[in-house]
Structure 1
Amino acid sequence: MKTKLIWLNVIILCTLLLSCKEDEVRAPYGCDDQTPPQDISEVVIKSISGGAVIKYQVPDDSDLSYVKALFQTKKGETREVRSSKYVDSLKIEGIGDTDEHEVTVYAVDRSENVSKGIKIAFVPNTPPVVNIRESLRAIVDWGGFSLDFKNEGKDAISVMVYYENTETEGQRLYDVYYTEQKEGPLAIRGLSPLPSKFVVKVKDRWENESEPYEFELTPLEEELLDATQFKEMFIPGDVRWTFFGGQWSCFFNDNYGSMDFAHTDYPQAFPHPTTIDMGATVMLSRMKIWQRLVQDDFYKHGCPRHFEIYGCPEGLDPFREENYELLMDGHLEKPSGGEFTDPNTAEDILVAQQGHEFLFDNELMKPIRYVRFVSLSSWSGMECSRIAEMKFWGQYIK
């Protein structure tokens, strides 16, 4: 009996081995036919910045899977764009010139059979990197310069900044800034107050690069103001920032922990002012505000959205509100332009982590000793304000 069982197992094993065949795991699913689909029809092409949108009628083929377009870049690279059979168009993007280009569009079925294809010629409109380059304007500022630009399509770009001065040995890459903002300014900071030559280039995600934007300027000298000299001035109208474990000192303690912040009472009707004795007479150049550093909490709850900054010079009574002049009308916004209910983009999160920067108008600035920060509204509409950290830059006036 034991011998019979052994032979039975051997027969079964041989049968299985003979019946097995190698599976092609990469083979497409569906009918294994050899008949290609018909081509697309009723084609209409519209040029856009750096590409084109091709509209068409898909073939009446139940086995159709998708439509694809193949084209070559100026560098000789072949690119492919695909579109579902349920969509009547596809978009060609990333062309860095305005020359005539040819694209071939194919219909593809579930067995990867490809139609004969139709060739279409088009001339793209001016590429985004060229439009953005033409909009660049550098304005001298504290510790560097402000770079104005227009990015109407909110394209993902990188801005490369090169510089050269007596401290460098030839031209150096200073930094690369990534943004999808619709417009500037972009703040370039941390530079020495030396006469310098700058070169700025714009690049998109397809490696198209603009012509250089070249200029010379001398950044204004600035420094991070010493927060250990700051003191709270509780003048009439100010509110306390000690709710929910918050402390006024958390404004300036270099601690960005999730539970380290200044927080007004809740509910507390707006406005929410607080007044700072800077400890010396200063000229302000810029400031930064950090939200509570918890991603799920960015641009929510008590994060200030609209605020004002006022200044009072030394020699005037800092306890009288009429002695304060408006220095800034500030709006803390998402770089993406999104609203409270919109998901945060990667750039929204990065800027929140790095701190939101605000520039003071040089024409409005004068020597001051006392600064009044007034929160006017929060991102969520909640009647409270919460800030993790605040920093000021400028010059000490001796």
Structure 2
Amino acid sequence: MKNIKNYSLQVLIGLLMIGIASCKRNDGYNTGPISNDGTKPGVVTNIKVDNFNGGANITYDLPNSDNILYVLAKYHINDKASRETKSSYYKDTVVVNGFKASQDYDVTLYTVSRANVMSDPITVKVHPETPVYQLVRPSVAITPDFGGVNVKALNPLRKEIGIIVVAYDDVTKTLEVQDQHFTKTDTIDYSLRGYNTDARDFGVYVTDQWGNISDTLKANLNPLFEEMLDKSKFFNFPLPTDAPLYSGGGWIVRNLWDGNTGEPGWHTDGSTPPFTCTFGVGPTYKLSRFVMWERSGTWSYGHGNPRDFSIWGSNANSPADARLPLQAPVGAVVGDWINMANYHFPDPPSGFPPTAITPADIDFVTKGVNFNVPFNAPSVKFIRVSVARTWSGGDFAHILEFSFYGKPE
């Protein structure tokens, strides 16, 4: 009986050792060839090229072999940089892109076996259409703006591009990069601020994800004067159609300019949108922009934080009440009030939905978000904030703080 027990124990230990050996860590990487077949694979055939902006789709027929792992494309995208693109044997197309210009380029194709053996090379010519960064460049415009410059451009294909702004640096005595704005949007319209009104050389060029850059649009510009409006001159100006206030916790209109970007702020009670409040800013101002702070932390992109809202203004000495519409085009006039701009609070920068935000999204909200006021908007001394839709879609809205900028008149 003792011998049987010892034999059983030895078998058990042996099985455990086999199990441990079979459970070696595998990080998903092969340390060597996955085939011992060293035969040189055949080449791709029936090659066709479909050019697009900055690149091309190359389709082909694979050799009749079970030993093919992928197709490799090698090519130069400009005078210096080269690229390699792979396409698995499950596909019949390899995409080559990042080319600097619309011209002929050689692309060399190889089939690669499971033993990492390459076929003979096959060279095909591609002729990409105009790269996106070059398509965008003619539409670029740079003009003076309050505290800096405004940059506009069109990106109709909605491809990833970068708008790079440079400015003369008094220390280095050359143009230095001031801002890098990467986007896929079709319409680019943003301002770079932080400059005095002295004339300065500015420039803008367009780049793409492969490091291609356009020529630089240069201009000598005088940024326009702006200052932050003096919040000590703001005053509440309640109107009958303003939204009712939340009754608890001191959430009142005056909190919107108390200098505190934390709670409490302005908070409405149950009502139907638009959720509106009204206040005066003192003297008449031509507004240039404003910064808005929404509730952050767990409230970010939720609850009563504005998602779509408008700023209405009036330069009347005592503007009369008027029920604002839920939506109206910019420039619409309702009584003494004009719609100065419609806004959408930026979606989470992470790209995740509002219900799955990241710490970076929360930080973005906490720092406050800048919004431009259209340059042709009229001068005003009264403001109405009108929230059409919150992130929760509920029956109330809240905002913590505003800082407005502009030029006194």
TM above 0.5: yes
Which residue of 114, 120, 125 maps to 1:110?
114
Distance 1:99 1:77, change over 3 A: same
Alpha-carbon deviation of 1:260?
5.8
- Within 5 Å, give how 1:134-173 maps onto structure 2: 134-164=138-168, 170-173=173-176
Distance 1:254 1:130, change over 3 A: farther
The yes-or-no answer on 1:393 pairing with 2:395 is no
Which residue of 39, 43, 56 maps to 1:39?
43
Distance 1:348 1:92, change over 3 A: farther
Q: Take 1:32 and 1:241, find their aligned partners in 2: how far apart are those partners?
A: 77
The answer for the alignment partner of 2:134 in structure 1 is 130
Distance 1:244 1:71, change over 3 A: farther
Residue 42 of structure 2 aligns with an amino acid whose one-letter code is Q
The answer for the alignment partner of 1:203 in structure 2 is 207
- Within 5 Å, give how 1:1-398 maps onto structure 2: 27-28=31-32, 30-164=34-168, 170-173=173-176, 175-180=178-183, 181-240=185-244, 242=246, 247-248=251-252, 249-253=254-258, 255-256=260-261, 262-265=266-269, 267-294=270-297, 299-313=301-315, 315-317=317-319, 322-334=335-347, 355-366=368-379, 368-397=380-409
Contact 1:253 / 1:389 at 8 angstroms: preserved in 2? yes
Q: Take 1:182 and 1:300, find their aligned partners in 2: how far apart are those partners?
A: 27
Paired residues in the alignment total 367
Alpha-carbon deviation of 1:149?
0.7
Q: Take 2:366 and 2:340, find their aligned partners in 1: how far apart are those partners?
A: 25
Residue 364 of structure 1 aligns with an amino acid whose one-letter code is A
SS in 2 for 1:103: strand
Q: Take 1:343 and 1:107, find their aligned partners in 2: how far apart are those partners?
A: 42
Q: Percent identity?
A: 26
The answer for the alignment partner of 1:18 in structure 2 is none
The answer for the alignment partner of 1:6 in structure 2 is none
CA offsets 1:316-360 (integer angstroms, 9 cap, x no match)? 245566332322233335499x89679889998886566443332
CA offsets 1:252-271 (integer angstroms, 9 cap, x no match)? 455555x6654433x53111
SS in 2 for 1:199: strand
Contact 2:302 / 2:354 at 8 angstroms: preserved in 1? no
Distance 1:116 1:300, change over 3 A: farther
Q: Gaps spanning 5+ residues in structure 1: where?
A: 1-24
Q: Take 1:359 and 1:41, find their aligned partners in 2: how far apart are those partners?
A: 56
Distance 1:352 1:205, change over 3 A: farther
Q: Take 1:350 and 1:203, find their aligned partners in 2: how far apart are those partners?
A: 28
Q: Take 1:86 and 1:154, find their aligned partners in 2: how far apart are those partners?
A: 29
CA offsets 1:31-62 (integer angstroms, 9 cap, x no match)? 22212333223322111222212122333433
Residue 163 of structure 1 aligns with an amino acid whose one-letter code is A
Contact 1:281 / 1:314 at 8 angstroms: preserved in 2? no
Contact 1:302 / 1:380 at 8 angstroms: preserved in 2? yes
Alpha-carbon deviation of 1:174?
5.3
